Amino acid sequence: MSRPEAPRFITIEGLDGSGGTTQLRMLHAAFLARGEACIVTREPSDGPVGKLIRAQLGAPPESAVRDGVLPYLFAADRRDHLDRVVLPALARGESVLSDRYALSSFAYQAEAHGLDRVMRLNQDFPAPHLTILLELDPAVCLTRILARGLPRDRFETLERLRTIQQGYEAAVRAVSGGAAPWNIVPIDASADVDTIHARVVEAVWPWRA
Ligand code: TYD
């Protein structure tokens, strides 16, 4: 495989507690060390809709929007994030590394909304060039989440993490078929951070291996 000329849109996915944010930071450093321009971003984004979503995820259940509202908010945030951050960076020639993207909606919102409906809501958005999927046992994820000592959001219970894991499996099957399959590389996230980073690097620059 030869080195692509164009900047790339790379997303990192996985359950809460699977280590995506750490790996994204390490990948960003690897890009910069290679002299390749790139930015780091995330969903929910830091734009107005993303801020609304974060507030809602942390709000008490009696006053927060129900799960069935979230697919619309995440889709609105994604449109805003693409227009405001992702597409302009790619147009400037910079790669974009995003902590979560549409695969999160397919995995997390399918329970409340149905996978087909969530996919339809996201059908206008471009597929990333590469998605790294960090795979880790939900019980291990929960142990890590609890160790952080931060308030937990609505998804951070063992039961929901197990459902979301199944959601990821169904989502990967759904986007791997069809005329334009997503390029998804699953990585065992139970290893130490440096080993996982080495696997991420292999996935991002396979022609170097
Ligand atoms: P997360 O990246 O975990 O943010 P933080 O580190 O600030 O907690 O994202 C917040 C939550 O949002 C996480 O539990 C996954 C969820 N989420 C969805 O349910 N659907 C989506 O489309 C996205 C992008 C995230």
> What CA–CA distance (Å, rounded) separates 41 from 26?
13
Domain assignment of residue 152, yes or no: yes
Determine the Cα–Cα distance for residues 41 and 39; give it in Å rounded to an integer. 7
Residue 209, in any domain of the structure: no
Backbone CA torsion sign across 81, 161, 148, 56? positive
Interior/surface letters 13-49, b for 16+ CB within 10 angstroms, e for the rest: bbbbbbbbeebbebbeebbeeeebebbbbbbbbebeb
**Residue 2 falls inside a structural domain:** no
pTM over 0.85: yes
- Summarised one tens digit per residue, pLDDT across range 109-134 is 999 999 999 999 999 999 999 999 99
**Which of 55-69, 90-104, 157-171 is least confident?**
55-69
**Mean per-residue pLDDT, 13-17:** 97
Q: Tell me the CA–centroid distance for residue 166 and ligand 1, in Å.
A: 16
Answer whether residue 4 is part of any domain.
no
Count of domains for the chain: 1
Locate the ligand 1 atom nearest the alpha carbon of residue 43 and give its number: 24
Across all residues in the chain, what is the average pLDDT?
95
Evaluate whether residue 101 is within a structural domain: yes
What is the reported pLDDT for 5?
60
86 lies in some domain: yes
Q: Is residue 165 part of a domain?
A: yes
∠ CA 52-171-122 to the nearest 5 degrees?
45
- Does 2 have pLDDT greater than 80? no
pLDDT of 1 above 90: no
Q: Does residue 71 surpass a pLDDT of 80? A: yes
Q: Is residue 29 part of a domain?
A: yes
Q: Is the pLDDT of residue 139 over 60?
A: yes
Nearest residue (by CA) to ligand 1, atom 3, is 16
Query: Which atom of ligand 1 lies nearest, measured to the CA of 53?
Result: 12
> Residues 40-59: what's their mean pLDDT?
97
Q: Which of 208, 81, 78, 183 is nearest to 133 (CA)?
A: 183
Percent of the chain at pLDDT > 70 equals 97
The structure tokens listed for 19 are 């280590």
Q: What are 82-95's pLDDT values in tens digits? A: 999 999 999 999 99
Distances in whole angstroms, Cα of residue 56 to Cα of each of 16, 36, 47, 65: 17, 36, 14, 7
**CATH code at position 105:** 3.40.50.300
Q: What is the pLDDT of residue 177?
A: 87
Which of the four pLDDT bands, split at 50, 70 and 90, describes residue 209? Answer: low
**Which residues form ligand 1's pocket by a CB distance below 6 Å?**
16, 43-44, 57, 74, 99-100, 104-105, 108-109, 153, 155
Greatest alpha-carbon pair distance for the chain in Å reads 53
The whole domain housing 195 covers 9-204
- Which amino acid appears at position 74 of this protein? F
